Amino acid sequence: MDGPAEGGPEGQKEVPRPRSPPFPPRAPTPPPPLSPGSVLGVSPLPVPSELGARQLLLDEWGTSGAELKLPEGLSWKLLYVQRPLYRNLLRSPNPEGINIFEPPPPCGPPRPLETLGNFSGWQISTEKLLPSFSWTVKQQCIDLLAEGLWEELLDRQQPDITVMDWFENSHLDTYVYELHVWLLAADRRTIIRQYHSAPRPSPKDPTGHWCQVSHVFKGYGPGVRFIHFLHKAKNRMGSDGFRRTRVTDSSVSLQLRN
């Protein structure tokens, strides 16, 4: 199992670290691939020629892409439209529109998370904790083949898989955030690699300070077809009202190694 170790200063009692789930929970079937306009964030532009598309992509990817052999049925023009590499494959990565360069806004009264922004693509649930805490759990399962990648690329080239997230140091508890990622085989149940992190933010940071967590999967072996991404953010109902830990700018992307 991949994952960083946590330790406290010498002579300080260590707070138990949350347990990592041994297996990804079942999630709905991944949604169909985004349209070209949604992928690029703009209206679809005229697609260049096959040679032009290849050159444009190689300019972006570097020399490592020059040796790629595309499977039958996949062209550089299609690859240019789908952009499966160097693109965030998560849907709605910043559903609340929160800017990490500014402190998170006040939480306000408890409301269903879905009413606070565009959470399309996320499966949302709540885990109750005693006495006044809870976890907000958001997860997605990415179908790599549906996003435009292909089996030989995943099995032989094994592009790096970079996972990144930002969470608020809300000071609601010792641990206010968890990240769990599983690389899954075609059956969506066989685990090839996994990563679990429960970072302990510094108590010295001001409330609302943004903390980054990231991990890169390298040399994970053949057979990866799905990426199951799950993060948890802690809530608390106290004398000061309802407060929750915000998360933003989540990302999962694949990169070729130069």
What pLDDT is recorded for position 6? 41
What secondary structure does DSSP assign to 124-180, as a single string? EEEEEETTTEEEEEEEEEEETTTTT--HHIIIII--EEEEEEEEEE--SSS--EEEE
Q: Which of 205, 172, 176 is nearest to 103 (CA)?
A: 205
Residue 4 lies in a domain: no
Count of structural domains within the chain: 1
Residues whose CB is less than 8 angstroms from the CB of residue 101 and which lie 6 or more positions away in sequence, other chains included: none
What pLDDT is recorded for position 33? 67
Q: Which helix (H) or strand (E) holds 61?
A: helix 50-61
Residue 63 lies in a domain: no
Residue 69 lies in a domain: no
What gap in Å lies between CA 112 and CA 110, rounded to an integer?
Answer: 7
What pLDDT is recorded for position 179? 97
Residue 56 lies in a domain: no
Q: How far apart are the first and last CA of the chain?
A: 27
What pLDDT is recorded for position 108? 82
Tokens of 200: 């302990």
CATH code, 107: 2.60.120.260
Residue 44 lies in a domain: no
What pLDDT is recorded for position 239? 83
Q: Which of 198, 215, 203, 197 is nearest to 170 (CA)?
A: 203
What pLDDT is recorded for position 222? 98
Residue 58 lies in a domain: no
| Domain extent for 215 | 88-255
Write out the chain's pLDDT in tens, 258 residues: 454 444 444 555 566 777 777 777 776 677 776 655 555 455 456 789 999 999 999 888 887 777 788 998 899 999 999 999 999 999 999 999 999 999 898 888 888 898 999 999 999 999 999 889 999 999 999 999 999 999 999 999 999 999 999 999 999 999 999 999 999 999 999 999 999 999 999 989 998 899 999 999 999 999 999 999 999 999 999 888 899 999 999 999 999 976
What pLDDT is recorded for position 16? 72
Count H helices and E strands in the chain, helices first: 4, 9
What pLDDT is recorded for position 191? 94
Residue 50 lies in a domain: no
What pLDDT is recorded for position 142? 96
Taking only Cα atoms into account, the Rg of the chain, rounded to an integer number of angstroms, comes to 20
Residues whose CB is less than 8 angstroms from the CB of residue 123 and which lie 6 or more positions away in sequence, other chains included: 27, 28, 138, 139, 140
Q: Residue 183 in 3-state DSSP?
A: strand
Residue 138 lies in a domain: yes
